[in-house]
Amino acid sequence: MSNPHDILFQQVPIGPVTAPNRFYQVPHGNGMGHRMPRSMAAMRGMKAEGGWGVVCTEEVEIHHTSDITPSIEGRLWHDDDIPALALMTEAVHRHGSLAGIELVHNGIHACNYTSRAVPLGPRSMSLTDYSPIQTRRMDKQDFRDLRRWHREAALRAKRAGFDIIYCYAGHNLTLPMHLLLRRYNDRGDEYGGSLENRCRLLRELIEDTKEAVGDSCAVAVRLAVDELLGEDGLTSQGEGYEIVSMLAELPDLWDVNISDWANDSATSRFAKEGYQEPYTAFVKSLTSKPVVGVGRYTSPQSMVSAIQRGMMDLIGAARPSIADPFLPRKIQEGRLDDIRECIGCNICVTGDNLSAPIRCTQNPTMAEEWRRGWHPEQIPSKKSEAEILVVGGGPAGLECAQALGQRGYPVTLIEGRQQLGGRVALEANLPGLMEWRRVADWRLSQIEKMAHVSLFPGSQMSAADVLESGLEDVIIAAGASWRSDGIGRTLWKPIPCHGPVSVFTPDDLMAGRLPDVGEVLIYDDDHYYMGGVLSELLAQANCQVTLVTPAPLVSYWSQYTLEQKRIQRRLVSLGVKLLTQHTVKSIQPDRVELNDLILGTAVERSCQAVVLVTERQPNDTLFRSLQPALGAKKLRSLRVIGDAEAPGTIARAVYAGHLAAREFDEPAVHQTPFQVERPAL
């Protein structure tokens, strides 16, 4: 019987080169870029090993006037930058895949904090990062220079070994797109006015690149065909459509998406698989050239359907390729249950936004390929006959048990609750977070295949129980519990609570204990998703919700996952009242006294229940009670991991579990435990 997914493994000609299959890792940031080229190359090479037929870079700056510090992207300012990028092409070619490079000049998005060059734009206008800096209005020489810089960068990219070279006009981040947009381009010369004139620079860059490298390299265009701004921006029914129609046959490949980045990489809380199809489906009807589309495709059936329905020729992916670099190979080998599906949480995006190496909730080996030598599918075999007891079946415990089992160790995992999954199982029931359940489901499905890993849910363990088990190697992954006193990032003393008033924590609400009154105040000093989803939960339960936070924005940290605006918009649409830059001073029977952090004045809000979302306390009692037994040699090893050690994100818990499994039976390291990339002096 033929593989039902065979269509995904057909070759696709792209100009002078041929993709070995339809799996296309589109350009994506990774927080490593020019600063950590070995790490970046190893990460991209791992995807090629996993079967991605095309593997692309992130943005690669073509000139020092396109310096987007503090973001860490690629650079191709000079010939001296070629060897670093050649590391990637060599890693990708080693596995028979094509390497693509996304050349970029960022225009009004380039603040040039490092180069101190004057920024360039269609007109003299403000930069996009709220800095008090404006661009210089480009003159004719600037356009000639830009074309030359792009051509020189394309030639360097060819010398570095790239097979596909981009002309980038997407995400509202690049000069070609800034010229396309009427709200930015008020020029009266040949680069302004009509759409044909506003397209001129993009057309010139495509033609210049094809002339320079088109004999052996494919030339791709990445275009955001809809900005979701209506008549104020490009739309797939308006100028987005017309641009593709105008340039349809000019490039060798179209890579199309929506803009801006928060739309293109919307989280699973707000957008489901294939969500971009309504905007990008038209492109294939206008061109004979292959089309790449994205939409966080994780299901092989959805991928096949997208091809068969004529949505695209190649399945573009960033986040699914991060969650599982071996996704294509697993589909080809029929190992669909082994795919680590992306949960759409955008922890990967935070790396790029925070100028730190990329991370992934599902894949703890992401960005550790070079510096730790980690492989997502391979792990060193066991070094002893030790049997390990893991206490706690949340993300840290499940990952630890699964990875230890993969190494070949016998593992017993004990979980106090009847349901395995810990915080993931609980949080996945909150509004919009259903796909987060995949963190537990994938690990449980892998453990089910391991006869030497035993799971015992619904079993509480005391220190005496642990010692009576006879297992001498113990790992505690008992999670954490939300505080009920209001102490957190902002308040260091418990909030005074006077009289009979209902005070709840996230743990209460996730256990189904919801306020049965009308007016509820949520105090959010956590600043990630929890305060927002609990507000949504209570609003759906017909409570009148007020969300109070000390931060200047609700769910402040979710800016880094690209969802803060969507969270705020949803809360407003549900009638949630938002009050920023306030703390809770005291809780009274029928009201809460607040403190205005700007004015220093007291404010009162009536309510009958309060939900405190502040900090979590590690559930480390069992670990501490077992430490004397370790000192008395009643245990051979004892370790605490994940939230039980230090509460954090689910991604941190998964990483902690994986690290513990890798380090088990290994000698202690008393120096930096990974390779560090340092400048050559």
Q: What CATH number is given to the structural domain containing 403?
A: 3.40.50.720
Q: Is 382 among the domain residues? A: no
Helices 82-93 & 37-49, crossing angle to 10 degrees? 20
Residues 419 and 331 both lie in one domain: no
For the segment 412-432, what is each residue's pLDDT rounded down to a tens digit? 999 999 999 999 999 999 999
Angle at 425 between CA 645 and CA 516, to 5 degrees: 105
pLDDT of residue 590: 87
pLDDT band at 526 (very low <50, low <70, confident <90, very high): very high
**CA 431 to the chain's CA centroid:** 19
pLDDT of residue 170: 87
Residues 469 and 394 both lie in one domain: yes
Query: 569: number of CA atoms within 13 Å, CB side?
Result: 5
On the question of pLDDT at 172 being above 90, the answer is: no
pLDDT band at 672 (very low <50, low <70, confident <90, very high): very high
Answer with the residue of higher pLDDT: 210 or 130.
Answer: 210
In the chain, % of residues over pLDDT 70:
100
Ramachandran quadrant class, 69 (left: phi over 0; alpha: psi -120 to 50; beta: rest): beta
Residues 578 and 625 both lie in one domain: no
Of 558, 86, 489, 560, the C-alpha closest to 568 is 558
Q: Is 681 among the domain residues? A: no
Q: Is 247 among the domain residues? A: yes
Q: What is the DSSP string of 302-342?
A: HHHHHHHTTS-SEEEESHHHHH-TTHHHHHHTT-GGG----
For the segment 47-66, what is each residue's pLDDT rounded down to a tens digit? 999 999 999 999 999 999 99
Q: What is the DSSP string of 490-549?
A: S--SPPPB-SS-EEE-HHHHHTT----SSEEEEEE-S-SSHHHHHHHHHHHTT-EEEEEE
- Last residue within a domain, chosen from 587, 617, 647: 617
The residue-averaged pLDDT of 318-344 equals 97
Residues 139 and 77 both lie in one domain: yes
Say if residue 505 is exposed, middle or buried (CB neighbours under 10 Å; 0-12, 13-18, 19+): buried
Residues 6+ apart with CB under 8 A from 670: none
Domain limits for position 447: 388-479+619-663
Residues 604 and 626 both lie in one domain: no
On the question of pLDDT at 499 being above 80, the answer is: no
Q: Is 541 among the domain residues? A: yes
pLDDT band at 310 (very low <50, low <70, confident <90, very high): very high
- The number of distinct structural domains making up the chain is 3
pLDDT band at 173 (very low <50, low <70, confident <90, very high): confident
Of 423, 446, 444, 424, the C-alpha closest to 435 is 424
pLDDT of residue 325: 98
The residue-averaged pLDDT of 311-321 equals 97
Handedness of CA 219, 225, 231, 232 (dihedral sign): negative
Helices 650-663 & 395-407, crossing angle to 10 degrees? 30
**pTM check: above 0.85:** yes
pLDDT of residue 46: 98
Between the CA of residue 549 and those of 374, 524, 527, 604, what are the distances in Å? Answer: 40, 5, 8, 14
pLDDT of residue 84: 96
Q: Is 344 among the domain residues? A: yes
Q: Is 677 among the domain residues? A: no
- Last residue within a domain, chosen from 353, 380, 407: 353
Between the CA of residue 96 and those of 19, 46, 253, what are the distances in Å? Answer: 9, 12, 20
pLDDT of residue 500: 75
CATH number, position 306: 3.20.20.70
Rg of the chain over all Cα atoms, to the nearest angstrom: 27
DSSP β-bridge partners for residue 209: none
pLDDT of residue 154: 98
The residue-averaged pLDDT of 456-485 equals 96
Distance separating alpha carbons of residues 534 and 102, to the nearest angstrom: 40
Residues 421 and 508 both lie in one domain: no
CATH number, position 567: 3.50.50.60
Tell how strand 453-456 and strand 616-618 pair up: unpaired
Residues 438 and 512 both lie in one domain: no
Cβ neighbours around 645 below 10 Å, total:
21
pLDDT band at 517 (very low <50, low <70, confident <90, very high): confident
DSSP state of 621: H
- Residues for the chain: how many in total? 681
Q: Is 668 among the domain residues? A: no
Residues 159 and 274 both lie in one domain: yes
Distance separating alpha carbons of residues 388 and 453, to the nearest angstrom: 10
Residues 35 and 162 both lie in one domain: yes
Distance separating alpha carbons of residues 325 and 450, to the nearest angstrom: 23
Helices 530-540 & 564-573, crossing angle to 10 degrees? 20
Tell me if residue 293 falls in helix, strand or coil: strand
For the segment 238-247, what is each residue's pLDDT rounded down to a tens digit? 999 999 999 9
Residues 627 and 600 both lie in one domain: no
Residues 330 and 459 both lie in one domain: no
Q: Is 181 among the domain residues? A: yes
- Last residue within a domain, chosen from 353, 379, 413: 353
Residues 105 and 24 both lie in one domain: yes
